[in-house]
Amino acid sequence: MCALASALSFAFASIAISTNKRRGLPNDGAFLSVIMTVGVSFALFLVFEDGALPSLDDPKLFEGILWFCMAGLFAMVFGRTLVFRSIGLLGVTRGTTVKKMNPFFSILLAVIILGETLIWEETLGVLALALAIFLLISDKSRKYEHEEENTPKDWMMVAPLYIPGILSCLAYAVSYIARKNGLITLGTPAFGTFVSAMAGIFFYLILAVPFESYRKFVVEGVRNIAPITMAIGASMSIGQVLFFTALTYEELSTVVMIGSLETFIAIFLSVAIFRLEIRPSVKQLAAAGLASTGVSLVTFF
């Protein structure tokens, strides 16, 4: 339930980000969401985890903090930077579509590093999700951004451009592994979210000194704050805390699979609730059905 609620929160954030872009507002809410995550997670740590941590002499405290800092570094710095690089090289549609490969890298690392196992029903679920994502990628009914027109079409020219996007998926997968190990060590999801978010802010501030792009990201993130920006920050903050909580009680592969429903929930909200897009195509409906089936196979077996 926490993983599904996390996917719903991230889907709401996606809708808010899309609305924000349509309005042309300069603040995309990304850095603000990290700041809000610090406040929300620390409050939850005090209320639900009683602010309780191992003593400073306990090596588990230092180990857990290191894992959570590593998660923040790989997700908020490496992952995000490579995603933006991918979008710059491939255009919006292809760049963001590559990010949908996250579950497969995460599940692969969960099996190799964490020793999680997949029975044949769960393997079928992963394959169903792969087919669902393929259908979503191949669907031509949605209107894409103008960047796609300028993207090279020849495969030999395009293939190297996918490397940053694939590396971003790997970075996010590593961050999930680090989160899980931190939770195995300390078992404090709210505190883990707090440390990861603090680490993200710290890394961004360091990078803002030599790099103008990061400096602009930080400065824009704390000014021109509108209600829609606050909505983005709140949704992403809640999603982060719920994702950490889900990882505390369930295997990484299961949480990631359920989290992959974010894309399809966002499509449903965009079409049926907020009326931002036309009704879904047959491929989109088939993809949603396959994704739901795949997640059900992983969750219930």
C-alpha span between 89 and 142 (Å, rounded): 21
Q: Count CB atoms within 10 A of the CB of residue 289.
A: 14
Which of the four pLDDT bands, split at 50, 70 and 90, describes residue 5? very high
Tell whether the model's pLDDT for residue 38 goes beyond 90: yes
**Shortest CA distance to 252 belongs to which of 132, 49, 70, 113?**
113
Please tell me the least confidently modeled range out of 16-20, 76-80, 173-177, 232-236. 16-20
pLDDT in tens, 102-144: 888 888 889 889 888 888 888 888 888 888 877 766 665 554 4
Which of the four pLDDT bands, split at 50, 70 and 90, describes residue 39? very high
Please tell me the least confidently modeled range out of 21-25, 53-57, 167-171, 295-299. 21-25
C-alpha span between 115 and 126 (Å, rounded): 17
pLDDT in tens, 243-264: 999 999 999 988 988 888 887 7
Residues found in the chain: 301
**Confidence at residue 42, expressed as pLDDT on a 0 to 100 scale:** 94
Task: Confirm if 299 and 254 have CB atoms less than 8 A apart.
Answer: yes
Residues 6+ positions from 154 with CB-CB distance below 8 Å: none
